[in-house]
């Protein structure tokens, strides 16, 4: 821009010297163009006067002699004609453009002056635009370098963690990948590469599922319809089979626009092997516990049968010991059944049974416990309860667990109600329809269960302590109930009862509709 300005002046106006002074933000000066002599480090007095007053200054042989009277030093050698024009923007003065002719030169004509002023105005705008452009480039370079530095820091962090990290953009290209993910993929993918469908198995996908994910990323601007769940799968790393857990989620901008898809991979082989060893140890202990409990029960029954009738106190003690042993045997059997159901083994032997009659038997058995705790235990049976298709022994243990739980958390003077009624709708698998079955509701007047943890109470070893009630038990009873009811193709859940306590509800299917097979 400066070269073009200087060339334009040389083409239109005859002069011995041309200077273009620019003033910086701190008041420093720079002569960016000069012809005929070496550039000085600071402007002369004439140039400084133009800058200070922001006005055009024209001197020639008639008036230049008066300059010292105004405190201005005449340049050496003295010029015959000198013309300075301020360079200004809307906000401030940015410089001064100067022409001068030597001793043999003539004064500048009015036409030359007007041309020089017009060129100065153009140069002012061009210089300001150039400065803005330069500042933009500088800031861009600073931002770009800062971003590059942040990316280098992020990559260093990703390289140091044990989990595999892989992020795709909306075109299915790799944005981030760390060494663990590269090891898992068994390839040399780099940012910018397309993720090959052949990598599907190593990432825990089928090729169709991975292709569908990439197509969704490229087709929509919102989150793809892929659940944000953890998937555990087996794959080969070298010659070793490993268990990998994959977690995934969309990456969204602040305004909800889809930026990409993030996948995290964690090697959980050691965790799974430890869990399997714990499960094996539990199964072994539970299996070994059943034999001595059965022996204790047999000896208690034998001792009870051999005692004389008048020894009623001893008989009562034996009955209590026998009942405690039966309860312990139920717990051991429940834990064994939980392990078998988790392993996918069939543990139920269903047949037509009366849920109402079974509930009556269980309530009668637990009445002594309720009376000792000063709790009213009631049974309500609706009319015309249809039979259910279930394993009576398994359902008995479900009822015992639920009623015992209700008694455990109900304070003295409270009430526990067990109600059995017909189910409103049929339950059971679509491929094997059943008639409408029965529904059992067990409500109490205890402290209740907060809505936030009602889904969690069925988890293994989960125990609540609402209202300061003393907690007893292993935390396996509700887990057994849920797994058993669902193994019967029924449903179980918990609600708030009408009196503020808890109400556990489960349904069981009716008789199979054999005629539709």
Pairing of strands 81-88, 93-101: antiparallel
Q: What is the CATH number of domain 351-516?
A: 3.30.565.10
Q: Is-contact 449 494, C-beta < 8 A?
A: yes
Residue 126 structure tokens = 């061009």
What is the model's pTM?
0.45
Identify the DSSP state of 225: S
Dihedral of CA 217/219/220/225: which sign?
Answer: negative
- Could you give the 3-state DSSP secondary structure of residue 379? strand
Mean pLDDT of 273-286: 67
Mean pLDDT of 164-188: 85
Residues 6 or more apart whose CB falls under 8 angstroms from that of 70 comprise: 49
Whether omega before 97 lies within 30 degrees of 0, making that bond cis, reads: no
Fold of 2-136: Beta-Lactamase (3.30.450)
pLDDT of residue 499 exceeding 50: yes
CB count within 10 Å of CB 148 equals 10
Mean pLDDT of 30-48: 71
What is the per-residue pLDDT for 403? Answer: 93
Q: Check residues 515 and 438 and name the one with the higher pLDDT.
A: 438
What is the per-residue pLDDT for 259? Answer: 84
91-122, pLDDT tens digit by residue? 788 899 999 888 777 888 888 889 999 988 88
The share of the chain scoring above pLDDT 90, in percent, equals 19
CA distance 246 to 321: 50
Distance from the first to the final alpha carbon of the chain: 91
CA distance 409 to 466: 8
pLDDT of residue 37 exceeding 60: no
Confidence of residue 430 (pLDDT cuts 50, 70, 90): low
pLDDT of residue 509 exceeding 50: yes
On average, the pLDDT of the chain sits at 81
pLDDT of residue 61 exceeding 60: yes
CA distance 249 to 234: 21
Q: Which CATH architecture has domain 162-267?
A: 2-Layer Sandwich (3.30)
pLDDT of residue 365 exceeding 60: yes
What is the per-residue pLDDT for 469? Answer: 45
Dihedral of CA 289/294/297/298: which sign?
Answer: negative
CB count within 10 Å of CB 315 equals 15
CA distance 98 to 58: 10
Identify the DSSP state of 50: H
Mean pLDDT of 23-33: 79
Which of 132-136, 314-318, 434-438 has the weakest average pLDDT?
314-318
Identify the DSSP state of 204: T
Residue spans of alpha helices (H) in 13-109:
45-53
- Could you give the 3-state DSSP secondary structure of residue 93? strand
Mean pLDDT of 495-515: 87
Confidence of residue 465 (pLDDT cuts 50, 70, 90): low
Q: Check residues 497 and 429 and name the one with the higher pLDDT.
A: 497
pLDDT of residue 472 exceeding 70: no
CA distance 61 to 42: 24
> Which long-range contacts (C-beta less than 8 Å, at least 24 apart) are formed by 196-202?
201/235, 202/235
Give the position of tokens 């083409």.
Answer: 11
Q: State the Rg of the chain over Cα.
A: 46
Q: Is-contact 94 73, C-beta < 8 A?
A: no
* Beta-sheet strands, E only, within 268-411: 351-353, 376-381, 388-390
Confidence of residue 452 (pLDDT cuts 50, 70, 90): confident
Residue 277 exposure: Cα atoms within 13 Å on the Cβ side: 6
pLDDT of residue 38 exceeding 50: no
- Could you give the 3-state DSSP secondary structure of residue 402? helix
CA distance 353 to 388: 6
CA distance 272 to 243: 8
Give the position of tokens 């599907």.
Answer: 200
CA distance 3 to 18: 12
| 192 φ/ψ sector (left φ>0, alpha ψ -120 to 50, else beta) | left
CA distance 301 to 299: 5
Residue 352 structure tokens = 């037509």
Residues 6 or more apart whose CB falls under 8 angstroms from that of 5 comprise: 20, 33, 119, 122, 123, 126
CA distance 303 to 327: 19
pLDDT of residue 227 exceeding 70: no
The share of the chain scoring above pLDDT 70, in percent, equals 80
Mean pLDDT of 433-441: 89
pLDDT of residue 374 exceeding 90: yes
């Amino acid at each position: 821009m400066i070269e073009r300005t200087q060339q334009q002046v040389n083409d239109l106006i005859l002069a011995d010297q041309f200077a273009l002074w620019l003033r910086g933000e701190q008041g420093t000066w720079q002569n960016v163009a000069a012809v005929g002599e070496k550039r000085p480090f600071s402007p002369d007095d004439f140039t400084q006067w133009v800058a200070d007053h922001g006005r055009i200054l024209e001197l020639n042989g008639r008036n230049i002699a008066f300059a010292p009277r105004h405190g201005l030093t005449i340049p050496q050698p003295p010029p015959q004609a000198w013309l300075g024009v301020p360079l200004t923007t809307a906000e401030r003065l940015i410089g001064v453009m100067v022409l001068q002719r030597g001793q043999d030169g003539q004064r500048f004509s009015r036409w030359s002056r007007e041309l020089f002023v017009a060129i100065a105005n153009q140069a002012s705008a061009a210089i300001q635009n150039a400065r803005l452009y330069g500042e933009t480039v500088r800031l861009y370079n600073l931002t770009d370098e800062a971003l590059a530095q942040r990316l280098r820091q992020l990559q260093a962090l990703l390289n140091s963690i044990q989990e595999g990290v892989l992020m795709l953009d909306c075109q299915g290209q790799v944005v981030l990948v760390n060494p663990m993910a590269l090891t898992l993929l068994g390839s040399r993918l780099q940012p910018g590469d397309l993720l090959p469908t052949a990598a599907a198995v190593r990432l825990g996908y089928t090729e169709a599922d991975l292709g569908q994910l990439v197509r969704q990323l490229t087709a929509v601007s919102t989150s793809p319809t892929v659940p944000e769940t953890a998937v555990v799968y087996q794959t080969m790393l070298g010659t070793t089979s490993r268990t990998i857990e994959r977690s995934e989620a969309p990456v969204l901008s602040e305004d909800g626009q889809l930026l990409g898809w993030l996948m995290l991979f964690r090697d959980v082989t050691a965790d799974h092997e430890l869990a399997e060893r714990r499960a094996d140890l539990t199964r072994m202990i539970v299996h070994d516990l059943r034999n001595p409990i059965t022996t204790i029960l047999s000896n208690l029954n034998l001792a009870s049968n051999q005692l004389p009738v008048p020894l009623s106190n001893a008989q009562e003690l034996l009955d209590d010991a026998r009942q405690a042993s039966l309860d312990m045997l139920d717990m051991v059997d429940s834990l064994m059944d939980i392990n078998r159901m988790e392993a996918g083994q069939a543990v139920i032997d269903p047949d037509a049974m009366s849920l109402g009659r079974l509930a009556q038997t269980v309530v009668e058995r637990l009445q002594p416990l309720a009376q000792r705790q000063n709790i009213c235990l009631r049974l309500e049976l609706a009319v015309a309860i249809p039979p259910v298709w279930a394993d009576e022994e398994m359902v008995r243990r479900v009822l015992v667990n639920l009623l015992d739980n209700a008694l455990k958390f109900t304070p003295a003077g409270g009430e526990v109600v067990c109600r059995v009624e017909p189910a409103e709708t049929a339950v059971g698998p679509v491929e094997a329809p059943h008639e409408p079955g029965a529904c059992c509701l067990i409500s109490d007047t205890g402290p209740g269960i907060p809505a936030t943890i009602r889904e969690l109470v069925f988890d293994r070893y989960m125990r609540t302590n609402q209202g300061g009630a003393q907690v007893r038990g292993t935390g396996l009873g509700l887990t057994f109930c849920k797994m058993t009811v669902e193994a019967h193709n029924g449903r179980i859940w918990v609600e708030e009862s009408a009196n503020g306590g808890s109400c556990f509800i489960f349904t069981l299917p009716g008789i199979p509709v054999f005629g539709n097979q």
